[in-house]
Amino acid sequence: MMKFRSFRYYLKEAITNLFRNGVMSTVSVLTVASCIFMFVLMFSLAVNIDFMLHQLSNTLGFVVVISDDATTAEKEALYAQIIDAPHVSDLRYIPADEGLRNFMESLGADDGLFEGLGLHGSNPLPHIFEVRVGDPRYMEMVVRNIVAIGGETVDEINEQSELVNGLITFNRGVRIASVAVVAVFVSISVIIIINTIKLTVNNRKTEIGIMKYVGATDWFVRWPFIIEGILIGIIGALAADIIFSYSYTAFINSDFRFFEILGEFAAFRPSSEMLPLVSIVALPTGVAIGAVASLLSVRKYLKV
């Protein structure tokens, strides 16, 4: 167990070192900050795409066109099967006349037009099922499933899921890219912090030797350096977090034309939800980068 009085000593040493190597410390903090900024940028992109996919899955489904020849019993059996199928979150039967009424209403027409067109009794629309899928990634699977169980009863399926599929593919791409980007940037920051701390350690090689002569344990020598690394990580993460918070809020509130179009389909995750999420990710990442880097850099200097 580390005693509090030792911790106070380690912290004081770490802060002194940070200021003594001001330039390298600043470089390290900036590197960590830009790495973590890139990381949270990728992260927020992925989170937003997920968020949008979920919204889309609530508005987008697909339509199963039922064969004109299907009997009521067949329709009821199909309804029961689809509603029990995996990943189907909602199912609605829309008979042809209801569909027509909806269509007319959406055109702003009243019953007068409806009758005026002489469509009564000769409805061109089919009976349909409207299917909603809980998770858009399973859309394809559900469609295939319904084709399989529907057989003759199903005439055709109108998928509107191209946008969804596009987003899913894009999201997968973003995830892979973020892993790659994050790996590269984390490595860069670890290397730069290692060098900062090595500089400190090198400057203090004789001091470390002296400490060990006086009877300091390896951990006693190590802790100030580890804490120095963690401090660099935390400061960098906080800087990234603050910059991200301002940028994200500004981005969300900006009035690009693109947003208006996009806004028809899905909204971005609001700042109030996004920012805490990003902080939760950024801080531990900073701490981890700093701790790993400092552990690596003091490893070999302790042999006295």
Least gap, CB of 222 to another protein (angstroms):
12
Least gap, CB of 217 to another protein (angstroms):
4
Using CB under 8 A as the binding rule, whether residue 100 contacts another protein is answered as: no
Using CB under 8 A as the binding rule, whether residue 207 contacts another protein is answered as: yes
Using CB under 8 A as the binding rule, whether residue 216 contacts another protein is answered as: yes
145 Cβ contact list (under 8 Å, min separation 6): 85, 86
Q: CB of 131 within 8 A of CB of 64?
A: yes
From 79-87, 204-212, 225-233, 293-301, span contacting another protein (CB under 8 A):
204-212
Q: Which of 22, 73, 121, 214 binds another protein (CB under 8 A)?
A: 214
Instruction: Report CA torsion sign: 239, 240, 241, 246.
Output: positive
Number of residues near another protein (by CB under 8 A): 20
Instruction: Tell me the C-alpha distance between 243 and 278, whole Å.
Output: 11
Using CB under 8 A as the binding rule, whether residue 76 contacts another protein is answered as: no
Using CB under 8 A as the binding rule, whether residue 211 contacts another protein is answered as: yes
Instruction: Tell me the C-alpha distance between 33 and 236, whole Å.
Output: 4
The amino acid at 287: V
Instruction: Tell me the C-alpha distance between 195 and 199, whole Å.
Output: 6
Residues numbered 12 to 31 that lie near another protein (CB under 8 A) are 16, 20
From 26-34, 209-217, 225-233, 243-251, span contacting another protein (CB under 8 A):
209-217
Using CB under 8 A as the binding rule, whether residue 205 contacts another protein is answered as: no
Using CB under 8 A as the binding rule, whether residue 79 contacts another protein is answered as: no
Q: Which of 6, 102, 158, 169 binds another protein (CB under 8 A)?
A: 6
Full DSSP string of 226-257: HHHHHHHHHHHHHHHHHHHHHHHHHHHH---H
Task: Report the C-alpha dihedral over residues 62, 65, 70, 74, rounded to 10 degrees.
Answer: 0
- One symbol per residue from 219 to 258: x for binding another protein (CB under 8 A), - otherwise; what is it? -x--------------------------------------
Question: Cβ closer to another protein: 61 or 224?
Answer: 224
Buried b vs exposed e over 200-213: b needs ≥16 C-beta within 10 Å? bbeebeeebeebbe
Residue numbers at the binding site for another protein (CB under 8 A): 3, 5-6, 9, 16, 20, 206-207, 209-218, 220, 304
